[in-house]
């Protein structure tokens, strides 16, 4: 299935350092995923997309992201390689697609955009054909009409926009100098996950049915919110990792690592599959968690519902996600980085590795 990558930094980074130059860049992952187990769909060749924000304060460019998509395989698109060598940004979304719903077309390529917002998905909504009517009946006309393609992912984005609107935030308006706010974006994302989960269950989806894999990512150009979620108490979600440091550097041609000169988080990377093979560079996001990047701080919260495991010693099976090519067997390091948790979220949280 799909892979996605997020870069958020204090300084703009050349897209080539994310997309093309690393030996295990997201484009290389599209045809040579060393951690991929899926034998049914061994490559991510059903299109690609990269979205990025231009420098702030330029009224001519505006605040909307620039999104470039294509239906050709990412590794075979010369224009993408050219763009990556001449473009810098401090907030980048990149996605390579292996389709589970929707035909091969640019309208079905991630990331999707709506004014200042971008959204992408790694996974699948189980039994989407059976619950699609729920999406249509629930959302306002303006978000129903927004959908141009046929993917479950774009419908999930439309649902997110509707949830944001119901929380009193018009996603079509200018978000202001600090965005819409990480709290309201996180709340809208949790509402989106909740609706999809409840609709699946109302259509007869039970524990024995195929679960939904909902690794969603959304940004308003300021905050980034990402989920790692599965509608199961016994299975692992699709893989998700993050890395922070002072600089993402190329120390040998094609070989990168995260530099940490101090405890600052000038660079934050979130990826379905790590860009480096340095295990200490990456932390595994726990299953059924939501990660927020705000002011270069990484916040992590458990998603506490009927699929949340209160006993963290209970193992989850990776068989389902692995069969879909959505698990990368990276071991979480014991010492890595700062992860800030709000005081009210500390009780009952998952154990996270923290630098000492």
Sheet-wide strand order for 224-228: 112-114, 117-124, 213-219, 224-228, 289-294, 297-302
Cα separation of 304 and 306, whole Å?
A: 7
Nearest to 180 by CA among 266, 89, 112, 116: 116
Cα separation of 139 and 134, whole Å?
A: 9
Four-way CATH pick for 3-345: 3.60.20.10, 3.30.360.10, 1.10.10.10, 3.40.1190.20: 3.60.20.10
Cα separation of 259 and 161, whole Å?
A: 37
Q: What is the pLDDT of residue 261?
A: 85
Q: What is the pLDDT of residue 338?
A: 42
CB count, 10 Å around CB of 177?
9
DSSP letter for each residue of 45-56: -S-EEEEEPPPT
DSSP strand pairing (241-245 vs 117-124): unpaired
230, 236 contact by CB (below 8 A) = yes
CB count, 10 Å around CB of 34?
12
How much helix, strand and coil, in percent to the nearest 5, is found in the chain? 25, 25, 50
> Cis bond leading into 95, ω under 30°?
no
Q: What is the pLDDT of residue 348?
A: 36
> Which 3 state secondary structure label does DSSP give 212?
coil
196, 125 contact by CB (below 8 A) = yes
Sheet-wide strand order for 241-245: 66-70, 48-52, 88-96, 3-14, 267-271, 241-245, 283-284
Domain boundaries, the chain: 3-345
Would you give per-residue pLDDT tens digits along the chain (356 residues)? 578 999 999 999 999 999 888 887 777 665 555 544 444 444 444 578 899 999 876 778 888 999 988 876 656 677 888 888 999 999 999 998 555 554 555 668 879 999 999 999 999 999 898 899 999 999 999 999 999 988 899 999 999 999 999 999 999 998 888 899 999 999 999 999 999 999 998 876 555 678 999 999 999 999 999 999 999 999 999 999 999 999 999 999 888 999 998 888 999 999 998 888 888 899 999 999 999 999 999 999 999 999 998 877 778 887 777 666 666 544 443 333 344 444 333 333 333 333 32
Helix axes 152-166, 128-138, angle to 10 degrees: 30
pTM for this predicted structure:
0.85
How many angstroms separate the first and last alpha carbons of the chain?
Answer: 36
Beta strands in the chain (DSSP E): 3-14, 48-52, 66-70, 88-96, 112-114, 117-124, 213-219, 224-228, 241-245, 247-252, 255-259, 267-271, 283-284, 289-294, 297-302
Q: What is the pLDDT of residue 29?
A: 66
DSSP strand pairing (213-219 vs 88-96): unpaired
Tell me how far CA of residue 46 lies from CA of 70, 151, 211, 325, in angstroms. 9, 12, 23, 15
Q: What is the pLDDT of residue 331?
A: 40
Q: For residue 82, which phi and psi values (nearest 5 degrees)?
A: -65, -45
Active site residues: 2
């Amino acid at each position: 299935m799909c892979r996605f990558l997020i870069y958020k930094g204090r300084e703009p980074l050349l897209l080539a350092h994310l997309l093309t130059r690393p030996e295990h860049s997201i484009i290389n992952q599209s045809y040579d995923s060393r951690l991929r187990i899926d034998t049914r769909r061994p490559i991510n060749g059903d299109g690609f997309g990269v979205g990025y924000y231009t420098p702030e304060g330029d009224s001519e460019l505006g605040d909307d992201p620039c999104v470039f998509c294509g239906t050709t395989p990412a590794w075979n698109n010369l224009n993408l390689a050219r763009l990556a060598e001449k473009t810098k940004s401090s907030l980048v979304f990149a996605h390579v697609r292996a389709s589970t719903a929707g035909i091969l077309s640019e309208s079905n390529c991630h990331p999707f955009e709506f004014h200042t917002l971008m959204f992408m998905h790694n996974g699948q909504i189980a039994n989407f054909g059976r619950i699609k009517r729920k999406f249509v009946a629930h959302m306002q006309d303006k978000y129903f009409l927004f959908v141009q393609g046929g993917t479950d992912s774009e419908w999930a984005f439309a649902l997110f926009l509707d949830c944001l609107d119901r929380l009193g935030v018009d996603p079509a308006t200018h978000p202001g100098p600090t965005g819409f706010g990480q709290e309201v974006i996180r709340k809208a994302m949790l509402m989106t996950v909740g609706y999809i989960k409840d609709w699946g269950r109302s259509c007869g989806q039970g524990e024995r049915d195929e679960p939904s894999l909902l690794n969603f990512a959304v940004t308003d150009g300021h905050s980034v919110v990402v989920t790692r979620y599965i509608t199961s108490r016994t299975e692992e979600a699709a893989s998700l990792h993050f890395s922070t440091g002072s600089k993402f550097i190329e120390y040998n041609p094609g070989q990168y690592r995260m530099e940490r000169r101090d405890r600052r988080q000038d660079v934050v990377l979130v990826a379905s599959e790590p860009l480096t093979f340095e295990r200490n560079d990456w932390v595994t996001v726990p299953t059924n968690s939501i990660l927020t990047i705000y002011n270069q701080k990484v916040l992590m919260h458990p998603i506490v519902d009927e699929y949340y495991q209160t006993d963290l010693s209970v193992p989850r099976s990776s068989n389902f996600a692995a069969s879909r090519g959505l698990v990368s067997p990276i071991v979480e390091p014991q010492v890595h980085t700062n992860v800030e948790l709000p005081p009210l979220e500390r009780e009952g949280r998952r154990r996270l590795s923290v630098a000492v």
